[in-house]
C-alpha cells in the first residue's frame, strides 16, 4: 500500500525512530515501525492480519491497528475516488491510506 500522513509532525514521528521513542516510548516506537512496514507490504487494507485491524467511526470512515496495549494507529482511505460498496468503504480495494493519528487506546 501507499502511505501518506495527515501532518508533517505525524510524518516526522512515523519516519524518525528517535522522535517516536521520545513521544511514545521504545516499545510503541518499535511496534509503530513494524506496523508501518507491514502496511507498506500489504496490497490492500483487507489483507492486514496484525494489530487487531478493524473499522472505526472516528468522524470519517477510518481503520485502526493496535500498537501494543497502549496505542493505536488510525488511518483512512486516501483515494480520489474511495472504493465503496453499499455506502461503505470497500477496504478490500483500498490501496492508498493516510495516517491520521496515533492515539492512546485507553482514551
Q: What is the DSSP string of 61-95?
A: EEEEEEETTTEEEEEEE--SS--EETTEE-GGG--
Measured from the Cβ of residue 49, the count of other Cβ atoms closer than 10 Å reads 9
State yes or no: pLDDT of 1 exceeds 80.
yes
Contact 90, 44 (CB under 8 A): no
In this predicted model, what pLDDT tens digit does every residue of 45-102 receive, in sequence order?
Answer: 999 999 999 998 765 689 999 998 899 999 999 999 999 999 889 999 999 999 999 9
Contact 7, 96 (CB under 8 A): no
pLDDT in the model for residue 58? 65
**Nearest alpha-carbon partner for 32 in 1, 8, 68:** 68
pLDDT in the model for residue 59? 59
| Class in CATH terms, 2-104 | alpha beta
Q: Which three cell numbers stand for residue 41?
A: 507490504
Q: How far apart are CA 21 and CA 32, in angstroms?
A: 10
pTM: 0.92
Amino acid at each position: 500500500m501507499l502511505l501518506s500522513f495527515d501532518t508533517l509532525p505525524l510524518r516526522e514521528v512515523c519516519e524518525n525512530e528517535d522522535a517516536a521513542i521520545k513521544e511514545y516510548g521504545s516499545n510503541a516506537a518499535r511496534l509503530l515501525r513494524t506496523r508501518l512496514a507491514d502496511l507498506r507490504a500489504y496490497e490492500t487494507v483487507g489483507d492486514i492480519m496484525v494489530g487487531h485491524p478493524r473499522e472505526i467511526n472516528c468522524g470519517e470512515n477510518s481503520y485502526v491497528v493496535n500498537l501494543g496495549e497502549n496505542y493505536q494507529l488510525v488511518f483512512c482511505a486516501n483515494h480520489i475516488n474511495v472504493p465503496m460498496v453499499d455506502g461503505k468503504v470497500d477496504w478490500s480495494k483500498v490501496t492508498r491510506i493516510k495516517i491520521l493519528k496515533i492515539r492512546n487506546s485507553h482514551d
